């Protein structure tokens, strides 16, 4: 058991003044959907891999799974095409991008219409440079043509990669495409990979200010791969930059730690819960990248966890704060939007245990040190966000919140809901539970 020595721990809760985002009216909450890259990368051999290659059938299958298997009902509503969808050359006359004629025989507009018939939107991929990362045509000074093409096709989002481009020109090339998008009748959400290509992932505040003014969300770390080590590195990186990231993160502009690995081969069940827990408290984009045709029920349950999705989609869009860390343990908290004006906010608390040797660990921390002094309430209902049907306990602000956390990348996440003064729990508990899952 670890008891945090709160007498020597100083928690500083700083006031974060958000930087204004590009105001195109889109993505006031983090985007949710599916992206092909992690699972299917650039597999274009459809003869050898007919069910796993980048083609029309793959994306239609994922649209169907989103629409029919419960994902749409909990908020996942976009299927995003990644690299390798196009012909190797632009149309020689119009200079437009052309979908691979063999793998996408009816074109991208047909795929968009197929999605819309099922209430699923479609996103697309391009690159700000001369070529995409896989060698297909990049923007290469075709901003106006490509923005018009994507608008006419009806795509609802675009992921703009940064290969084969001059990094010192990103501050011109990425904004130039944003300007081209603004001229189109159809609004398109804009995902930028701009900060992910900056050396050592060290991006100064003034650059993030420009990024947020031009992009709806942005990748800012190495590509995720199907392993726990990859997820752990992202968690540690976001912890190390937490104070900076919170200043630029919020409605209309989101940090993107990359795709959800859940349902693939690289994470255990507990590690899968941990990734979903972190992406939820960060208010990060929730982009699945598993084969939804073959995903097993235990991983599907994690991806469709309504309580965690509600935390992720909280209207204030705050990124959680890292308030305590050692080389083995982290504790994060996230303030949620109040359910009504003048009422105290609920808080989400996450305990994370990285050590890969020994038994699961009891971690306890005083409630009064988890919540800012000026906001602390006398008592809280404690909900386990992976089992929210019942109240775990009622805890006072002077007690320790103790949770048993699995080793090897395990975590526990709970929601602390204030017990209002003069509230009769036996009379109002059912309403409290209903309000708890407000997604």
192 Cβ neighbours under 8 A, 6+ residues apart: 160, 162, 174, 211, 214, 215, 217, 218, 219
Picking from 34, 42, 37, the residue whose alpha carbon sits closest to that of residue 60 is: 34
- Strands (DSSP E) found in 212-282: 217-219, 254-256
For residue 286, what are the CA distances in angstroms to 35, 71, 205, 434?
A: 10, 12, 25, 24
From residue 35, alpha-carbon distances to 41, 80, 121, 279, 360 in Å are: 10, 5, 12, 16, 34
Given a contact cutoff of 8 angstroms between Cβ atoms, the answer to whether 75 and 313 are in contact is: yes
Rounded to whole angstroms, the Cα distance separating 16 from 25 reads: 22
Length of the chain: 439
User: 361, 411 in Cβ contact below 8 A?
Assistant: no
Catalytic residue (one of 100, 161, 291, 314): 161
* 161 assigned to active site: yes
How far, in Å, CA of 211 to CA of 247, rounded?
A: 13
Catalytic annotation present for 205: no
Residue recorded with tokens 């906001």: 375
For residues 154 and 78, give the distance between their C-alpha atoms in angstroms, rounded to a whole number.
13
Distances in Å between the Cα of 191 and the Cα atoms of 26, 44, 122, 252, 279 are 12, 24, 14, 11, 17
Catalytic annotation, pick one of 91, 223, 387, 431: 223
Task: Give catalytic residues, as residue numbers.
Answer: 161, 223
């Amino acid at each position: 058991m670890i008891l945090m020595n709160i007498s020597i721990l100083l928690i500083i809760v700083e006031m974060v003044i958000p930087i204004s985002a590009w105001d195109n009216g889109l993505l006031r909450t983090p985007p949710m959907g599916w992206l092909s890259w992690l699972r299917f990368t650039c597999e274009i051999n459809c003869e050898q891999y007919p069910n796993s290659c980048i083609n029309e059938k793959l994306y239609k299958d994922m649209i169907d799974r989103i629409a029919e298997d419960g994902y749409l009902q909990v908020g996942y509503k976009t299927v995003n095409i990644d690299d390798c969808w196009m012909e190797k050359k632009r149309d020689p006359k119009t200079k437009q991008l052309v979908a691979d004629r063999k793998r996408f025989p009816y074109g991208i507009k047909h795929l968009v219409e197929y999605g819309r018939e099922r209430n699923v939107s479609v996103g697309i991929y391009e690159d700000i440079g001369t070529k995409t990362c896989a060698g297909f045509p990049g923007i290469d000074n075709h901003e106006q043509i490509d923005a018009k093409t994507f608008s006419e096709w009806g795509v609802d989002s675009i992921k703009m990669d940064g290969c084969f481009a001059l990094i010192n020109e990103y501050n011109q090339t990425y904004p130039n495409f944003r300007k081209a998008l603004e001229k189109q009748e159809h609004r398109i959400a804009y995902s930028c990979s701009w900060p992910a290509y900056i050396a050592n992932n060290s991006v100064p505040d003034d650059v993030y200010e420009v990024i947020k003014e031009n992009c709806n969300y942005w990748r800012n770390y190495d590509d995720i791969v199907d392993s726990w080590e990859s997820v752990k590195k992202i968690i540690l990186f976001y912890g190390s930059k937490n104070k900076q990231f919170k200043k630029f993160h919020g409605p209309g502009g989101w940090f993107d730690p990359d795709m959800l690995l859940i349902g693939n081969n690289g994470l255990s069940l507990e590690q899968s819960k941990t990734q979903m827990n972190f992406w939820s408290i960060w208010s990060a984009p929730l982009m699945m990248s598993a084969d939804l045709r073959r995903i097993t029920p235990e991983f599907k349950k994690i991806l469709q966890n309504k309580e965690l999705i509600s935390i992720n989609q909280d209207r204030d869009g705050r990124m959680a704060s890292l308030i305590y860390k050692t080389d083995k343990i982290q504790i994060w908290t996230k303030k949620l939007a109040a359910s009504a004006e003048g009422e105290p906010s609920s808080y989400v608390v996450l305990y994370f245990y990285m050590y890969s040797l020994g038994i699961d660990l009891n971690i306890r921390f005083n409630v009064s040190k988890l919540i800012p002094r000026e906001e602390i309430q006398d008592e809280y209902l404690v909900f386990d966000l992976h089992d929210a049907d019942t109240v775990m306990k009622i805890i006072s602000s002077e007690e320790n919140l103790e949770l048993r956390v699995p080793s090897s990348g395990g975590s526990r996440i709970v929601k602390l809901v204030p017990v209002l003064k003069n509230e009769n729990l036996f009379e109002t508990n059912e309403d409290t539970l209903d309000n708890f899952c407000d997604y």
